[in-house]
Amino acid sequence: MTKLAVDMQQITVRFGKVIANNEVDFQAEWGEVHGLVGENGAGKTTLMRVLYGMYTHHEGTMLINGEKVAFSSPKDAISKGIGMVHQHFSLVPSMTVAENVVIGRPPYKKGLIDLKKSEQIVAQLSAEYGLEIDPKMRVSDLTVGLQQRVEILKALYLGAEILIMDEPTAVLTPQEIKQLMETLRSLKEKGKCIILITHKLAEVRMVTDRITVMRAGVVTARVNTADTDEKKIAMMMVGREVILEVDKQPFHPGETVLSLKNISCFDRMGLPAVRDVSFDVHRGEVVGIAGVQGNGQSELADAVAGLLPLSHGEVFLNGKLMSGGNVPLLCRENGMGHIHDDRIHVGSAADLSIRDNFLAAMYRSDAVKKGPFLDYSKANEIVEENVKKYKVKIGKITDEISSLSGGNMQKLIIAREMYMQPRLLIASQPTRGVDIGATEFIYQQIIHHRDQGNAVLLISNELSEILALSDRILVIYKGSIIGELDRAQATEDKIGLLMAGIRPET
């Protein structure tokens, strides 16, 4: 019998009173891509950090290739051939690719680090594993996808035979995801053991051989990928059936709410981002903007909301021209809600409490005022009520918002934007980095808002999301709207071609 690459038995990890992993058994074999799936906070990353020697206060035993091990630091794990690619990369931006790869164990010549040799080593590694990269490039000049490649090379250079990938696709574009999946497959063929932590079901199906499902700190299932489907995996993750297809009322668009006339703008680097875009959004409809990330959709949302200055064109909200000194305020006063795609930096203020973040959109309203002052008892009441209504899991409303998980933070932001009953809701990447249970809830809220006769402008990189929610779909490519489709005519293929910049013949 061949030995297991990883055999973790009865692993229990506690943080204070919280049990993050409860008697977890986990096995992975050589030459497989093993999916470790579960919702945010299910304990996947914790379990892998134990394996990588980052957490050492656990109970239970670990065997690597049949040999019992006890790690006191990642160094020990590395020496046993374990590598981990973290969600947030651990690269030094000002160093070159080669320097970053060899930093843990550089080659020497005459007492000094041999930079030429380092470059050769990296070139050789990248050829061997098909991870094309220029060793002389500075890491700060690389795209996120290439930076991840450097991380993988770094782990391989240190002799990783077991490679842990922690949510590797969260930051990647669809093309980069495809390339990464190829890489994982080729590493597998070289006999390595890949552990893929994820909550994205499409990837699980695409690349894994077997999966271990975790929920609330325990393993709920171990299956072969071939024997299951996305629906079943979702059920195992969430513990109930998940419905991402939402029922909506028939499509009866009303009067125009938002009207864009030939708008153009530059991005924050001063490059043209949105070029001559015109369209309307009506009451009772969801207009979806589909496109590959980086084609100007974030800037389009910011331009509509007044967060980026227009270089050309006009934005009308309820027939009123949005221009003047404080456009974002004017937009809000005229019934715009905005779920920003950068919820950490723009959508919320990390150091403020949950309550203050909720109040940010409404503190000017008389509902929470007593004379010139804020009426905190009333505000508390409103916040408590909405936190409950939107099922946001929090401690106290006075806790900092940064204490919330991504999904819960997003739910809170949606609660805030919905509270003002906006006539126009801009939802930009509303479910990015959010787990599947919360995604389902957010979909329901957006459709509910539309059904009440409001307009929604949905911007998303996830095609499935666009298809699930939109009544009309516009495709953005290099800052221009390249095509428009009714939901009825739209298929993944048609949109996919437009996203790649290919217009249909007719």
Partner 1 sequence: MITASIIAPILRVMTPILLCALGGVYSERSGTGNITYEGSMLVGTFTGVVGSYFTGSALVGVLCAVAGGVLVNLFYGMLRIKMGGDNVVCGFAVNSFSIGVTTYLLRTIFHTNGTLSDSRIQGLYKLRIPVLKDIPIIKYFVTNQTLLVYFALLMVFVTAIILKRTKFGFAIRACGENPMAAATVGVNVNRTRWICLVITGMLCGLGGAQMALGNLTQFSEDMVGGRGFIALAAVILSKATPLGVLCTALLFGFAEAYANLLQLTSISSYLILMIPYAAVILILVLQPERLKELKRRIGMRRKLPQV
Q: Candidates 39-47, 111-119, 314-322, 376-384 — which segment interacts with partner 1 by CB under 8 A? A: 111-119
99 scored as a contact of partner 1 (CB under 8 A): yes
Of 99 and 161, which CB lies nearer to partner 1 in the complex structure?
99
Of 14 and 478, which CB lies nearer to partner 1 in the complex structure?
478
Max intra-chain CA distance, the chain: 78
Q: Candidates 110-118, 189-197, 401-409, 465-473 — which segment interacts with partner 1 by CB under 8 A? A: 110-118
E strands in 398-499? 424-428, 455-460, 472-477, 480-486
Residue 346 makes CB contacts below 8 A (sequence gap 6+) with 307, 340
Of 166 and 285, which CB lies nearer to partner 1 in the complex structure?
166
Cβ neighbours, 10 Å, residue 318: 16
Return the amino acid letter for 268.
R
Q: Which of residues 212-271 bind partner 1 (CB under 8 A)?
A: 264, 266, 269-270
Of 311 and 403, which CB lies nearer to partner 1 in the complex structure?
311
75 scored as a contact of partner 1 (CB under 8 A): yes
Of 99 and 285, which CB lies nearer to partner 1 in the complex structure?
99
Q: What would the two tokens of residue 31 be?
A: 């030459």
Cβ neighbours, 10 Å, residue 478: 15
User: What burial class does residue 387 get, using C-beta atoms within 10 Å of its C-beta: 0-12 exposed, 13-18 middle, 19+ buried?
Assistant: buried
Q: Candidates 2-10, 38-46, 91-99, 370-378 — which segment interacts with partner 1 by CB under 8 A? A: 91-99
Q: Which one among 15, 66, 104, 464 touches partner 1, defined by CB under 8 A?
A: 104
Of 92 and 202, which CB lies nearer to partner 1 in the complex structure?
92
73 scored as a contact of partner 1 (CB under 8 A): yes
Beta strands 272-282 and 455-460, pairing class: unpaired
Q: What would the two tokens of residue 365 be?
A: 């309203």
Our CA angle for 225, 227, 230, nearest 5°, is 65
Query: Residue 91's closest CA among 155, 176, 47, 134?
Result: 155
Q: How far is the CB of 289 from partner 1 (least distance, A)?
A: 18
Residues 427 and 457: beta-carbon distance below 8 Å: yes
Give how far the C-alpha of residue 44 lies from the chain's centroid of Cα atoms, to the nearest Å: 16
Of 157 and 443, which CB lies nearer to partner 1 in the complex structure?
157
Please name every residue paired with 27 in a beta bridge, in sequence order, or none if there are none.
Answer: 7
Which run of H or E residues covers position 215? Answer: strand 210-215
Q: Candidates 96-104, 172-180, 407-415, 484-492 — which segment interacts with partner 1 by CB under 8 A? A: 96-104
Q: How far is the CB of 470 from partner 1 (least distance, A)?
A: 25
Q: Which one among 66, 93, 254, 395 touches partner 1, defined by CB under 8 A?
A: 93
135 scored as a contact of partner 1 (CB under 8 A): no
Of 75 and 178, which CB lies nearer to partner 1 in the complex structure?
75
- Give the separation between CA 357 and CA 386, rounded to whole angstroms: 13
| Coil, strand or helix at 504 | coil
Q: Candidates 3-11, 112-120, 249-257, 449-457 — which segment interacts with partner 1 by CB under 8 A? A: 112-120
186 scored as a contact of partner 1 (CB under 8 A): no
Q: Which of residues 469-498 bind partner 1 (CB under 8 A)?
A: 478-480
Of 102 and 413, which CB lies nearer to partner 1 in the complex structure?
102
- Give the separation between CA 457 and CA 286, rounded to whole angstroms: 6
Q: Which of residues 274-293 bind partner 1 (CB under 8 A)?
A: 275
- Give the separation between CA 202 and CA 194, rounded to whole angstroms: 17
Enumerate binding residues for partner 1 (CB under 8 A).
73-75, 78, 86, 88-95, 99-100, 103-104, 106, 112-113, 115, 264, 266, 269-270, 272, 275, 311-312, 478-480
